[in-house]
Structure 1
């Protein structure tokens, strides 16, 4: 198809070989931090490729967050929430974080009944940009977590490499064991 984008690693007027190498190095560094989160910090972590995107999910017990209020940043501990949902979306070609996405997550039980639906906003973290939110869910042993987002609407540089991220994504993770949420 003539409208297909060229590989995003093609040198162009906007992206020379050095710039593309730097982008891949940035993606590799981000990937190391992401593997640390999904493989060592989270109770559940997995990453899947979906077209131009690489979508990672990490789940752990709910945690406190600074939230903006009328008086500035305010620390808030979870009240009824028991699960912290973290999503990272990367450029599948170079591994860099994709900002400005509208990410929705749904969690369903083994029968497919939805038990939670949430929007996960951008969440600043000292080591890894990601999207995240706390939510209250029942303890499930075989949940399905679905991550959905429309294509990003941000402008793109580069006539050669910029025609990408055109499709929405829907990525399913499961079965996911949430028994780590049980009180001990």
Structure 2
């Protein structure tokens, strides 16, 4: 899906986003990780079934191409994913699955296309098919977000905000033209897709309607490129744009968040929620391009 670019991201350590089940009950013990051996022509998953709850996978890339691993739901939505698994390396992935049923695993050699797919069955833990307290789509959004911040970015807290960032290869998207959605491929010269995720620290919710501007600064403090970000629908909602970084090196990302433009409920004596913006600086972000 994102060929030719491999990122090494250093700097601020990323704390995990945690989605707590209703009632504060402790999570069930996690079973041993399911081993996945990926190659350029195969995707061998050691077990094709598991129980609801956290399902861990350990993916070893034995091929010659960078690969990805996905768990899809029955409607094709991404439950969890891990990207940029280089040849000869291994990565782990934990999918939070709340609903029993038929799922699909996929390895994507070269990070493109539909991948090498196999059926995967999830049964109800304890044999009871109880309705999930949290919809699977909500669980998946925060599970994938947590994994990508851990693997390809970082986060920090500023006042009432938790601000995460993710850097990937330049990506395509759909944009509106006269009421119709048109596909826009990554333009020549665009090298990186920089994502900012504004989160309300007190609740863990991704916040909509936030005007965000990001500057990419070089080692001398000069702005290589600055852009206002757009809001995107994907595995998780986020703000992003493609940037053009002329050469590999270590950079600083400076994200400026304005107060959200939505209206707020509350009492007259209260301070309106998220009524102030924030600025977050992520240093030591090493951007490397290959191929």
TM range, smaller chain: 0.7 to 0.9
SS across alignment from 1:33: helix
Give the alignment of 1:130-141 within 5 angstroms: 130-141=238-249
Give the alignment of 1:43-122 within 5 angstroms: 44-70=152-178, 72-79=180-187, 80-122=189-231
Tell me by how many angstroms 1:71 deviates.
6.4
CA root-mean-square deviation: 2.2
> How far apart are the structure 2 equivalents of 1:122 and 1:157?
23
User: Are the structure 2 counterparts of residues 151 and 50 from structure 1 closer, same or farther at C-alpha, using a change threshold of 3 Å?
Assistant: same
User: Are the structure 2 counterparts of residues 161 and 121 from structure 1 closer, same or farther at C-alpha, using a change threshold of 3 Å?
Assistant: farther
TM-score computed with the length of structure 2 as normaliser: 0.49
User: Are the structure 2 counterparts of residues 31 and 51 from structure 1 closer, same or farther at C-alpha, using a change threshold of 3 Å?
Assistant: farther
> How far apart are the structure 2 equivalents of 1:134 and 1:121?
10
Q: Rg bigger for which structure?
A: 2
> How far apart are the structure 2 equivalents of 1:31 and 1:74?
28
The counterpart of 2:260, out of the listed 152, 157, 161, is 152
Q: 2:232, 2:239 within 8 Å by CA — same for their partners in 1? A: yes
Tell me by how many angstroms 1:74 deviates.
1.2
The counterpart of 1:34, out of the listed 125, 145, 152, is 145
| Structure that is richer in helix per residue | 1
SS across alignment from 1:34: helix
Unaligned 5+ runs, structure 2: 1-21, 23-133
Unaligned 5+ runs, structure 1: 1-17, 19-24
Q: Compare relative contact order (CA 8 Å, sep 6+) and give the higher one, 1 or 2.
A: 1
Structure 1 runs, 4 residues or longer, greater than 3 Å off: 28-31
TM-score computed with the length of structure 1 as normaliser: 0.76
> How far apart are the structure 2 equivalents of 1:122 and 1:148?
15
Size of the alignment, in residue pairs?
154
